[in-house]
Amino acid sequence: MKVSFHGHAVVQVETNGKTILFDPFITGNSLTDLRVEDVKPDVIILTHGHSDHVGDTLELAKKHDALVVGIAELATYLGWQGVRTHGMNIGGSYEFDFGKVTLTPAFHSTGYMTVDEQIIYLGMPAGVVFSAEGKTIYHVGDTALYSDMKLIGDKHAIDLAFIPIGDNFTMGPEDAAVAAKLLQAKTVVPIHYNTFPPIKQDPNRFLELLEAGNGRIMEVGDIIEL
């Protein structure tokens, strides 16, 4: 399994002959190295319905007939726009041909803002536990710290966790370090920081707070092979 980071919360996984893209916020993302015209996902997995996570999902899914996986309301809404979707809900798992997806709680908000100043509710936010080839990654999504993260860590042997540290909209470095301790992942990577002024953070501060010393800063385009 090959896992790469592409700025903000964009993560790409290559496994079982498939390219899986998490939260493909490309257009308007000043930190990403990706270009919409170059990305060819087979699957798109979304943590929630905010524009900096849904991103370019519709264009990419339509162009490449990619399957979009996400919370039920979000999947239904995107399905109405003409893309293939698979809706799920918190606590549910599904075994796809490319791997197993489990949705976990994420304490956050969700909603898509339209050009005519409307907000469309798109279901609960989620984290995503993804397992394939005997490895497990956890895209925590946008969330606050919550104690049940320990249950997730106890249940899943997490090889790699992507944890938001930006503060303001999600956990900051201090709470993210506590989350990392609860999840017990072999490697933790900070995400969702420095994209916008309110979430400006020094990722090294997060690494310093980790008691297990298991943090790794992934620069944009970096790859981890599991």
Residues 104 and 142 sit within 8 Å (Cβ to Cβ): no
pLDDT for residue 109 is more than 90: yes
Residue 225 covered by a domain: no
Return left, alpha or beta for 130; rule: phi > 0 is left, psi -120 to 50 is alpha, else beta: beta
> Taking Cα atoms as reference points, which of 134, 139, 130, 132 lies closest to residue 53?
139
The tokens for 56 are: 């370019």
Within a domain: 226: no
Tell me the C-alpha distance between 198 and 195, whole Å: 9
Amino acid 112: pLDDT: 85
Of residues 117 and 134, the one with the higher pLDDT is 134
Q: Which amino acid is at 36?
A: V
Looking at residues 97-117, what average pLDDT do you find?
Answer: 93
Over residues 172-198, the mean pLDDT reads: 98
Q: Of 146, 126, 122, which Cα lies nearest the Cα of 138?
A: 126
Helices (H), the chain: 51-54, 57-64, 72-80, 149-155, 173-183, 203-209
Q: State the Cα–Cα distance between residues 5 and 164, nearest whole angstrom.
A: 13
The whole-number pLDDT of residue 6 equals 98
For residue 104, the model assigns a pLDDT of 98
Q: What is the mean pLDDT of residues 132-157?
A: 98
pTM for the model stands at 0.97
- Tell me if 36 is assigned to some domain: yes
Mean predicted lDDT score pLDDT of the chain? 97
CATH number reported for the structural domain that contains residue 46 in this entry: 3.60.15.10
| pLDDT at position 114 | 83
What gap in Å lies between CA 84 and CA 78, rounded to an integer? 8
Look at residue 117 in the predicted model and tell me its pLDDT.
86
Confidence of residue 131 (pLDDT cuts 50, 70, 90): very high
> Rounded CA gap, 79 and 135, in Å?
30
52-78: average pLDDT: 98
Output DSSP code: residue 194: S
Q: Domain for residue 151, yes or no?
A: yes
CA end-to-end span of the chain, whole Å? 5
Considering the domain boundaries, does residue 26 fall inside one?
yes
State the total domains in the chain: 1
Which residue shows structure tokens 């506590």? 178
Confidence at residue 202, expressed as pLDDT on a 0 to 100 scale: 97
pLDDT at 116 over 90: no
Residue 70 lies in a domain: yes
Domain that holds residue 87: 2-218
Examine residue 223 and state whether it is found in any structural domain, yes or no. no
Segment 183-191 shows an average pLDDT of: 98
